[in-house]
């Protein structure tokens, strides 16, 4: 089951934090963690989520239990179950079978963090750390997208004016490049929510090298 499937079934306003689940990568893992990879073998949604603080949409996320097969230099592959807070910009992009980068605690191989920063930034020009839709719209390349599917996440994100988050599957086109499928979460102004329907075409901004970092440019829509 993919993330977009089970998020559909949650229908919760969960904005409280799971006590043992950091909302972003702990600093010790970011600076000192061993680099590895993991194959997502299974996923299970929880009723725990985070709202964004100070308008930083990257920090908003749904807590998901991942079943991973972890690979790290110097030791055999191993299975691990772990809770991770998935940024809403990556909702729908994370699914079983995908290989993700991880940072592993060298003193405790049972503790790791999925490197969602790497997934969002890739080889692009966006700054490291938290990224917001506004930043992407300011610095990203323009393109267009046709909405294929819309699915609900939690109802609203704190400190974003109460705007709802919707998971969106889009067919995105960049000038001179073939179209591709993008799956992520979009913050939708309430007065434009009715426009977000399958078949609708929107201007987007993003990085053509990072398929799931395509953000609808609501400021360009009258």
In whole angstroms, what separates CA 130 from the centre of its chain? 11
In whole angstroms, what separates CA 155 from the centre of its chain? 16
Give the model's pLDDT for residue 47: 66
The larger pLDDT score, comparing residue 135 to residue 120, is at 135
Average pLDDT in the 203-207 region? 91
CA triplet 200, 204, 206: central angle to 5 degrees? 145
β-sheet bridge partners, residue 146? 171, 201
Pairing relation of β-strands 141-152 and 201-206? antiparallel
Q: What is the pLDDT of residues 50-85, one digit of tens each?
A: 554 433 444 446 788 899 999 998 889 999 999 888
Is the pLDDT score of 1 beyond 90?
Answer: no
- As a whole number of angstroms, the distance between CA 47 and CA 110 comes to 23
- CA-only gyration radius of the chain, Å: 17
Q: What is the pLDDT of residues 118-130, one digit of tens each?
A: 665 443 333 344 4
The structure tokens 């490197």 sit at 115
On whether the CB atoms of residues 160 and 67 are closer than 8 A, the answer is no
| Of 189, 219, 153, 171, the residue nearest 15 (C-alpha) | 153
Number of other residues whose CB lies within 10 A of the CB of residue 23: 19
Q: What percent of the chain has pLDDT over 90?
A: 30
Q: What is the pLDDT of residues 185-198, one digit of tens each?
A: 788 888 998 999 99
Average pLDDT in the 192-220 region? 89
Report the 3 state secondary structure along 76-122.
Answer: EEEEEEEEEEEEHHHCCCCCCCCEEEEEEECCEEEEEEECHHHHHHC
- As a whole number of angstroms, the distance between CA 192 and CA 220 comes to 12
Confidence bin at 116 (pLDDT 50/70/90):
confident
Write down the mean pLDDT value for the chain. Answer: 76
On whether the CB atoms of residues 172 and 145 are closer than 8 A, the answer is yes
β-sheet bridge partners, residue 59? none
- As a whole number of angstroms, the distance between CA 136 and CA 198 comes to 23
β-sheet bridge partners, residue 39? 69, 99
Q: What is the pLDDT of residues 147-171, one digit of tens each?
A: 998 876 543 443 345 677 788 889 9
Give the model's pLDDT for residue 123: 37
Give the model's pLDDT for residue 119: 67
């Amino acid at each position: 089951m993919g993330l977009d499937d089970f998020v559909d079934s949650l229908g919760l306003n969960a904005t409280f934090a799971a006590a043992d689940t950091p909302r972003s990568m702990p600093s010790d893992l970011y600076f000192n963690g061993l680099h590895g990879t993991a194959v997502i073998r299974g996923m299970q949604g929880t009723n725990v989520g985070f709202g964004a603080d100070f308008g930083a949409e990257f920090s908003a996320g749904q807590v998901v239990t991942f079943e991973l097969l972890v690979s790290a230099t110097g030791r055999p592959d191993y299975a691990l179950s772990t809770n991770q807070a998935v940024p809403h910009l990556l909702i729908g992009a994370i699914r079983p079978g995908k290989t993700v980068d991880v940072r592993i605690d060298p003193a405790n191989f049972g503790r790791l963090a999925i490197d969602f920063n790497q997934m969002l930034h890739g080889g692009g020009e966006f700054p490291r750390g938290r990224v917001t839709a506004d930043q992407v719209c300011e610095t990203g390349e323009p393109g267009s997208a046709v909405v294929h599917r819309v699915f609900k996440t939690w109802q609203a994100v704190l400190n974003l004016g109460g705007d709802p988050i919707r998971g969106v599957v889009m067919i995105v086109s960049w000038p001179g490049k073939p179209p591709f499928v993008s799956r992520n979460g979009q913050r939708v102004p309430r007065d434009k929510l009715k426009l977000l329907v399958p078949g609708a075409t929107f201007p987007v901004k993003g990085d053509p090298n990072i398929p799931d970092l395509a953000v609808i440019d609501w400021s360009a829509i009258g």
